Amino acid sequence: MAKEKIKQLRDFPSVEEILQDKRLSRAISSVPRPLASNITKQVVGELKGEFKKGRKALCVEDIINDVKRHIGWLKSSEISRVINATGIIVHTNLGRAPLSESIFDDVKRTAVGYGNIEFDLQTGSRGSRGEACERYLAELSGAESGTIVNNCAAALLITLNTLANRKKVIISRGELVQIGGGFRIPDILKKSGARLCEVGTTNITSVEDYQESIDDKTGLILRVHQSNFIQRGFTDQVDLKALVALGKKFKIPVVNDLGSGVFISTRPVLGYAEPTVQQSIRDGADITCFSGDKMLGGCQAGLIVGRGDIVDRIKRNALFRTVRVDKIVFSILEKLLAHYLNGDWAEQIKVWSLLTVPESELYRRGKQVLKELGNPAGVSVEATAAYVGGGALPESSIPSVGIVFSSDHKASALLRELRAMTIPVIGRIDGDCLILDLKAIDESDISYLKNAIAKVLGRG
């Protein structure tokens, strides 16, 4: 490079000269070459603009460092593994439900290369997509039939479009929830072609409110689980069985959107009974839909179960192809649903294996970490509160244990350093303290966590 110091515009090196600089070789090789080139052009353009405005002389090293920073920002936006020390098990920003390695290993064998996703091995002709997965789903839920689309919002959208296009959908005002990312139930209703019919009030809705709104333009009654918030005080909500009875009386289907659906009783593990998919089917809901990547413990998907004739209509809807899933999703859900059917979900499904670790074991792990670090000052193992997350059980905390850094350790600075690790560690700040909650951390990652703590404390 001709000149290291830049005193005038003509001293700026060319983009190609910068790309060839050995100081950038490692950063350049970490991203696709066209992106590295564009980033360099952007940096040079911005620095030239500042230079023209009277910035003092700079050097090539400044350009190199700016390019490195921009590439670093790009790299940090790529999907990578992190250690979840937030205490939120189903963390939407961290990929929701973690997938078990055993399930991933099984899926890898079926997803790599070709597969019989739509091929009947018995007849040698074209087969039905996801046939085994749909049968497992129906068997587990107790429904006549089931199918899978790419997320729960899509499941609701296509169900509404199939049953209530240009018709009224009756829903309680207290259930017009906003789900993650700013998506709102009324907006999904509108896009489906259905017409929203709000009944009752925010806190109280009666059976009579629903009945008074039924007419020949009514397509269905919709019930939406208030997954991500709690109403307290003077409140009342119509029981699903009562809505089903009303629907049968007027021959109107009832759709139950469970949001984060579960197939097991959550009371023994969480101390709170979340409505199950099987109960929704037993209570008579014509269609029940829920997510695959929340408390179910799998991948992003929208699962639909219920009456066989309605599920068939949904699958014949022209929109179905736009929301269908691929062989990887079907493979994951096949393995996942099989674990529920076999009864080994607590060991084989990561969400539940994490949730069922006792506090005593978390204390043991935390104490061992601090012992191996020499019991650093201002760091302790304390009781904390963890949460399921993912829009489920918003006020039901789970007793947990965390490694707590006192205010002497400057929580924000520690958190930044931990996020900058090769495998980032994501904790949370409570008051002036940094907490690394152990509830969502797999035992196999405890050693890495210890080394990360040692590094930020200057002991690595």
- For residues 138 and 150, give the distance between their C-alpha atoms in angstroms, rounded to a whole number: 18
Backbone angles phi, psi at 120, to 5 degrees: -85, 110
| Edge-first strand listing for the sheet containing 168-172 | 145-149, 302-306, 287-291, 254-259, 218-224, 168-172, 195-199
21 contacts: CB under 8 Å, gap ≥ 6: 1, 60, 64
The pLDDT score that the predictor gives to residue 53 is: 81
Query: What helix, strand, coil percent values describe the chain, rounded to 5?
Result: 45, 20, 35
Q: What is the DSSP letter of 78?
A: S
CA atoms within 13 A on the CB side of 312: 4
The pLDDT score that the predictor gives to residue 183 is: 73
155-201 tens-digit pLDDT: 999 999 999 999 999 999 888 877 666 678 888 889 999 999 999 88
Which numeric CATH code is attached to 101-345?
A: 3.40.640.10
Q: What mean pLDDT, rounded, does the chain reach? A: 91
The pLDDT score that the predictor gives to residue 57 is: 72
DSSP letter for each residue of 290-346? EESSSTT-S-S-EEEEE-HHHHHHHHHSGGGGGG---HHHHHHHHHHHHHHHHT-HH
The pLDDT score that the predictor gives to residue 269 is: 85
Backbone angles phi, psi at 419, to 5 degrees: -70, -20
Is the alpha carbon torsion for 309, 341, 355, 300 positive or negative? Answer: negative
What is the domain partition of the chain in residue ranges?
A: 5-77, 83-94+353-456, 101-345
Listed as ranges, residues in the chain with pLDDT below 70 are: 1-3, 55-56, 179-182, 227-235, 391-395, 459-460
The pLDDT score that the predictor gives to residue 316 is: 97
Cβ contact 349:100 at 8 Å: yes
Q: Which amino acid is at 193?
A: G
The pLDDT score that the predictor gives to residue 5 is: 84
The pLDDT score that the predictor gives to residue 201 is: 82
Q: Which region holds residue 275: left if phi is over 0, alpha if psi is between -120 and 50, else beta?
A: beta
The pLDDT score that the predictor gives to residue 127 is: 87
Query: What top-level class would CATH report for the domain 83-94+353-456?
Result: alpha beta
